[in-house]
C-alpha cells in the first residue's frame, strides 16, 4: 500500500469530466480517478483554503464524526472493478466504511488524514507521466490531453 497526495482536480475536455489526480508520496506513479463535479468542487475548495458560507456535506460529515467521538485514521483506495474505483474510510477500532474515492479524499483533506492506495490498484491504473523536469500541474494538463476513460479498463476487458 502506498501513501498518496492530492495533486489536484482538473476538467477533461471535451467531455467536461472532472479528474482527481493523486501521486505517490514516495514513488513516481500517478492515479487518475474520474469524479463528479460536486466532489471535484469540494476537493478544490478545500485545497484552496476556501471556506463556503454554509458547510458542505463533507464538512458536515467531519463534524458528525467528531461529534460522535470517533477518529478517522485514514482513507484507502481499495479496488478497481470495471473502471470503477472503490475506497474505505478507516476509523479508530479498525471500523471500516465503504465510500467513493472522491468523497473519501474530500473528507481526508478536511480531517488531515493520510490517503493510501492498494498496490493492486496502482498496478492496474497507476501511470508514470514522463518528463520529470516539468511541474506537476503542467504534466497533469498534458496527461489530460492524451487520455480517455478507455485507457483505464483492465487488461481483461
Q: How far apart are CA 81 and CA 120, in angstroms?
A: 11
Question: What letter would DSSP give residue 27?
Answer: S
Q: Which of 9, 7, 11, 2 is nearest to 145 (CA)?
A: 11
- Does the pLDDT of residue 130 top 70, yes or no? no
Question: What's the pTM?
Answer: 0.79
Question: Which pLDDT value is given to residue 128?
Answer: 86
- Residue 154 banded pLDDT, cuts 50, 70, 90: low
Cβ pair 18, 12 in contact under 8 A: yes
Question: Which pLDDT value is given to residue 157?
Answer: 43
Q: What is the DSSP string of 56-122?
A: -HHHHHHHHHHHTT--EEEEEEEEEETTEEEEEEEEGGGEEEEE-HHHHHHHHHHHT--EEE-HHHH
Which whole number is the average pLDDT over 91-111? 95
Say if residue 125 is exposed, middle or buried (CB neighbours under 10 Å; 0-12, 13-18, 19+): buried
Q: Which of 30, 37, 28, 27 is nearest to 6 (CA)?
A: 30
Q: Which residue has the cell 474520474?
A: 34
Q: pLDDT tens digits for 26-57?
A: 988 999 999 988 899 889 889 888 888 888 89
Amino acid at each position: 500500500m502506498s501513501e498518496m497526495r492530492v495533486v489536484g482536480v482538473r476538467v477533461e475536455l471535451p467531455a467536461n469530466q472532472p479528474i482527481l489526480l493523486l501521486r505517490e508520496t514516495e514513488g513516481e506513479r500517478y492515479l487518475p480517478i474520474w469524479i463528479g463535479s460536486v466532489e471535484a468542487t469540494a476537493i478544490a475548495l478545500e485545497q484552496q483554503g476556501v471556506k463556503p458560507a454554509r458547510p458542505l456535506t463533507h464538512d458536515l460529515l467531519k463534524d458528525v464524526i467528531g461529534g460522535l467521538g470517533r477518529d478517522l485514521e485514514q482513507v484507502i483506495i481499495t479496488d478497481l472493478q470495471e473502471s470503477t474505483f472503490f475506497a474505505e474510510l478507516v476509523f479508530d477500532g479498525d471500523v471500516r466504511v465503504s465510500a467513493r474515492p472522491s468523497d473519501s479524499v474530500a473528507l481526508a483533506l478536511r480531517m488531515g488524514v493520510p490517503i493510501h492506495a492498494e498496490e493492486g490498484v496502482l498496478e492496474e491504473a497507476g501511470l508514470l507521466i514522463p518528463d520529470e523536469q516539468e511541474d506537476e500541474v503542467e504534466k497533469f494538463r498534458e496527461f489530460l490531453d492524451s487520455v480517455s476513460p478507455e485507457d483505464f479498463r483492465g487488461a481483461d476487458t
